[in-house]
Structure 1
Amino acid sequence: MSSERPPTIDPVAAARWHAAAPAVSPWLHEEVGRRMQDRLQWIVQAPDSWCDWDAVRGGLQAHTLVSGRYPKARSVIHETSAAHAKVAREAFSKPWWSPGRWSAANPEFAAPEPASVQMLWANMGLHTAADPQALIAQWHRALAVDGYLMFSCLGPDTLRELHAVYAAMGWPPAGHAFTDMHDWGDMLVQAGFAEPVMDMERITLTFATPERLVQELRELGCNLHPGRHAALRGRHWRAQLYAALSQRLADPDNGGQLALTFEIIYGHAFKPAPRVRVSESSAVSLQDMRAMLRKAGERT
């Protein structure tokens, strides 16, 4: 696995999408968040604090589900887009006179301090990161020792039908290539995580019309491939697209509905205590040093 940035993601386009993405929680993101939340039943130790990284795009309803599972835990919402931060505050902030104003379920809105949370929740955002290893490193820094990461993203089989349509029409790629779950596991280990567990499932969505299909895709993301169409396309091209989708994606066994596949990857990993080799240049953060001393005290 290469340590370089994804070769099929245009960093400028990715930054623009991140800033301009609709400040809504797409249905698919909410559904994936619900399924990932179900996996928390296998976690024995409930977190004292947790961070929802980019909750608006990840799913506001999913955030509520996780908060309900851990009602006593301190929650932090970190929105990396200013426009989304405003929406998150409006969605979750309670007025000062509300009975639940000072409860643990009322989230804080800030970037998590280093080693400050026991769980980092990141739903359906990693696949659009132009530098995913840098993002994973940020998650690692935010977690306390023995804390854990829960994330989901799109996998390589996503939109395989749409890619086939574009190829058949002789058009540039329909989108960037999504990373395989095994490569995500390698990146987690390289970032300092331990015991990564990766899982995958496929979800098929159907649409009555090509217009509805395209509307859904626009809400989910945009084409970040460097080799995408270099200019705006007109009505003639859009009519071609709708015709091609209707012809090639229609499922006769499902009333002519247009079907698209989404591969969903789920990842889980722990942040272990750091391994330190003593030398003249050794450097350990204060938070990690406290964690190591605490571990040493538990063994004596």
Structure 2
Amino acid sequence: MSTEHPPTIDPVAAARWHAAAPAQSPWLHEEVARRMDDRLQWIRQAPAAWCHWDAVRGGLQGHALVSARYPQALCQVTETSPHCLPVAMQALTRPWWSPARWSAGRPRFGLPEDGSVQMLWANMALHMASDPQALIAQWHRALAVDGYLMFSCLGPDTVKELHAVYAALGWPPAGQSFTDMHDWGDMLVHAGFAEPVMDMERIRLTFATPQRLLQELAELGCNLHPQRFPALRGRHWRSRLHEVLQDKLGDPEHDGQLALTFEIIYGHAYKPKPRVRVSASSAVSLQDMRAMLREGGDRS
């Protein structure tokens, strides 16, 4: 499989967004986190330690749901955007006088050590990554053998109505194309995960005004397409956009409110025991060697 950047994501723009994204949890991210938490009821083995990847953008309310589900598990919070770290620490660190501060559930902050967690939770982050294969590989390294990944992201049908409006007017793309869930499954296998389970649902949101719609989209992300409009837009274009959105996206079933579709992809996969390929010369990492030795000891 190719390890090149996705063809519709500008890596410079993606890095700029990651460094300046609002340090808050968008409503949609929290709703998706709630739905992803529901899926944890089907997993029988509770993790001894879990990692919340980019908790502030992924959903602080969602963090509370997972923490309540696994109150005895150690929690590692990883914020890859420096400006989000103080927000996470303020929101998730309990006061010094709280007895809960000394419980197993108090969070630690920073990158997880290799093989240190049994679950990695990454909500609504993957679709904005310029090199998703590298990010998935990083998650794989953080997980212990038999640990599992829980993630969600946007799918290809997201804001398809907005893309249609831009295309009809001959404007440059309204945003990058999102990856299909089957391709995410292939990337998981390529990174070393096993038995990926992917599913998808569509959420239809309505907005009272074009201004509110654009505000919501700005909180969720930005246009990372390499062929997006390269300069600043003027007021007349903005007014024209408001008129077009009001005309084209009004939904009669919702009293004329503007409607947009969001395709949500959910993914789950686990990290299997390492396999050594037999050849004239084989290299095995120290982490994999320890895992294989433990497996041999368990059998004996």
Please tell me the TM-score bracket, short chain as reference.
Answer: over 0.9
2:179 paired with 1:202: no
Amino acid at match of 1:87: V
How far apart are the structure 2 equivalents of 1:166 and 1:202? 21
In 2: Cα distance, 1:38 partner to 1:75 partner: 19
> Cα deviation per residue 1:62-94 (whole Å; 9 max; x = unaligned)?
011000000000000000000001110010112
Residues 1:139 and 2:114 aligned together: no
- For the residue of structure 2 that corresponds to 1:268, the secondary structure is strand
Residue 224 of structure 2 corresponds to 224
Aligned residue in 2 for 1:37: 37
The one-letter code of the counterpart of 2:39 is R
Residue correspondence of structure 1 range 61-210 to structure 2 within 5 A? 61-210=61-210
Letter in 2 for 1:32: V
1:183-208 CA distances to partner (integer Å, 9 max, x unpaired)? 00000000000000000000000001
Deviation at 1:2, TM superposition (A): 4.2
Q: Unaligned regions of 5+ residues in structure 1, if any?
A: none
Q: CA RMSD in A?
A: 1.0
Rounded Cα–Cα distance in structure 2 between residues aligned with 1:249 and 1:281? 61
In structure 1, the residue matched to 2:3 is 3
The amino acid across from 1:146 in the alignment is D
AA of the residue aligned to 1:5: H
Equivalent position amino acid for 1:239 in 2: S
Distance in 2, matches of 1:68 and 1:163, equals 39
Separation in 1 of the partners of 2:260 and 2:253?
A: 14
User: Counterpart amino acid of 1:110?
Assistant: G
- Distance in 1 separating the partners of 2:95 and 2:264: 37
Shift in CA distance, 271/86, structure 1 to aligned 2, threshold 3 Å? same
In the alignment, the residues of structure 2 paired with residue 40 and residue 253 of structure 1 have an alpha-carbon distance, to the nearest angstrom, of 34
Please name the residue that 1:299 is paired with: 299
Match of 1:113, SS state, is coil
Q: List runs of 5+ in structure 2 lacking aligned partners.
A: none
2 CA distance for matches of 1:97 and 1:83? Answer: 27
Q: In the alignment, is residue 270 of structure 1 matched against residue 270 of structure 2?
A: yes
Q: Distance in 2 between matches of 1:180 and 1:278?
A: 34
Letter in 1 for 2:48: D
Distance change in 2, residues 1:145/1:57 (3 Å): same
> Alignment partner of 2:197: what SS?
strand
Give the Å deviation of 1:4. 2.1
Structure 1 residue 28: Cα displacement? 0.2
CA–CA separation in structure 2 for the residues paired with 1:284 and 1:235 = 60
The whole-number CA distance in structure 1 between the counterparts of 2:135 and 2:111 is: 13
Written as runs of structure 1 = structure 2, the 5 A alignment for 1:274-285 is: 274-279=274-279, 281-285=281-285
- 1-side partners of 2:50 and 2:226: how far apart? 36
> With structure 1 as the length reference, what TM-score do the two structures score?
0.98
Whole-angstrom distance in 1 between the partners of 2:225 and 2:129: 12
CA distance in 1, matches of 2:236, 2:214: 16
Corresponding residue pairs, total: 300
CA distance in 1: counterparts of 2:210 and 2:45, whole angstroms:
46
Aligned to 2:50: 50
Structure 1: which amino acid aligns with 2:277?
Answer: R
Task: Return the letter of the residue paired with 1:121.
Answer: W
SS at match of 1:66: helix
The SS at the match of 1:151 is: strand
Q: TM (normalized to structure 2)? A: 0.98
Distance in structure 2 (CA, Å) of the matches to 1:24 and 1:71: 24
After superposition, the C-alpha distances for 1:190-239 in whole angstroms (9 at most, x for unaligned) are 00000000000000000010000000000000000010011000110000
Per-residue Cα deviation, 1:240-292 (whole angstroms, up to 9, x for no partner):
11000000000112100100000000000010011113445422222222211
Question: How far apart are the structure 1 equivalents of 2:173 and 2:202?
Answer: 21
Residue of structure 1 in register with 2:234 after alignment: 234
Task: Tell me how far 1:99 sits from its aligned partner.
Answer: 1.2
Percent of aligned pairs sharing the same letter: 76
